[in-house]
Each structure stands twice: as structure tokens, then as C-alpha cells.
Amino acid sequence: MVKSRLAADLNPERAAFIYRVILENILQKLCTVNCEVALYCYPDSKHTFFVNCKDQYKVSLHKQRGCDLGMRMYNAINDVLTHQPQLVLIGSDCLELDAGYINAAFAALNSGNDLVLGPTCDGGYALIGANKIDASIFKDMTWSTPQVLQTTKTRIDDLNWQYTELPLVRDIDTLSDYEYFSEHDNFKHLF
């Protein structure tokens, strides 16, 4: 049920393995960031893997809610902002996200930006940080296309909100993405 584009080229079991490796790598890195970590799970938070993540990395588990990726992201952000002044939401498929990148996102929010984006090489983003949120940013988005980041920025501009972008990163959506990381000296030991 994860990494469907990657599973089409490999197989669902291998894609699930890769997902687990990436997510655990990210959770290890998040342990070094001074913030609460919540893991929003699909289709629910009761899967053994997620429960093990909760125990090992001391994260809270929550079920994703929403009809598509955008609404699931909006609901997660909105939920957290009801009891926290800001948050950074990251995708579970970007090995290049580390404590420094996350801390840079929080710094951007603390410097007066309403939002911060961590753009990816494929035209999307692997991170969105927020001091406030509006559902219009995510509504009716054509996800997994090269226009996601630009459409998001246009929608933020329409709200007259301030945002900034962090340096470009690469996530793992396709076989070529996976091959890039599996051959990269900093990451090939993971696979």
C-alpha cells in the first residue's frame, strides 16, 4: 500500500521494505531534533511496524484522515496547530532530510514566514512548515506531478502569506530515484 510508483517497477514487497528503511532512517534523524514527533499513518496506526516505531522512537501515532494526500496533509497540520504554535510536516520518503534541514525550517518559521517549503527535484516538496494553514493550499491538487510546488506557491501568494524555500532535495518516488540513492555513497548501505 506504499510507494505505488516504485512498486510498479519492483514489486509491492520490495517497495514496502524500501519505505520501512527510509522511514526508520528519518525517525532516527528526528531523534536529534528538539521537537515532538508525530507519525501520521495510513490506513491506520495499529500496524505492527508503526507500533514498533512508536516504541523505538518515542513518537505519537495518528491515523491519516482525508480523501487524498492534500487533505490528509491539511488535517495533520491543522490538528497539530490546534495545540502547537508551529510545525514542520515532512514526507516519509526523503533520505536527504536531516536535523539541520528540519532546524532550518523551524528557523524560517521563527523569522516571520507563515510557511516554509522544502522543494524536491521532481517539482513537489518533501517538507512544509507552518505557523498557520488554509485548506485552499491543498484542495484539488494534482499530486505527483511537476507542477505541485509551483501551484502551492501560487496558492500561498493568493493568500498574501509570506513563505520561503529551503534548498532542493530528492525524494524516492520512482525506480530512478531509488537507483540514485542505492548507488550514492551516503545512502547505499541502507539498501
pLDDT tens, position by position, 47-102: 999 999 999 999 999 999 999 999 999 999 999 999 999 999 999 999 999 999 99
pLDDT over threshold 90, residue 189: no
DSSP-assigned letters across all residues of 139-172 = TT---SSTTHHHHHHHHHHHTT--EEE---B---
pLDDT over threshold 90, residue 41: yes
How far is the C-alpha of 39 from the C-alpha of 43, rounded, in Å?
12
Nearest to 19 by CA among 88, 116, 92, 95: 92
* Per-residue model confidence (pLDDT) at position 139: 96
For the chain, domain boundaries: 4-190
The residue type of 24 is: E
Nearest to 178 by CA among 1, 29, 8, 53: 8
Could you name the CATH architecture of 4-190? Alpha-Beta Complex (3.90)
Pair type for strands 60-63 and 38-41: parallel
* Per-residue model confidence (pLDDT) at position 107: 98
DSSP state of 82: T
Q: What is the pTM of this model?
A: 0.94
pLDDT tens, position by position, 92-136: 999 999 999 999 999 999 999 999 999 999 999 999 999 999 999
CB atoms within 10 A of CB 51: 13
pLDDT over threshold 90, residue 191: no
CA distances from 111 to 35, 104, 121, 162 (A): 18, 10, 26, 10
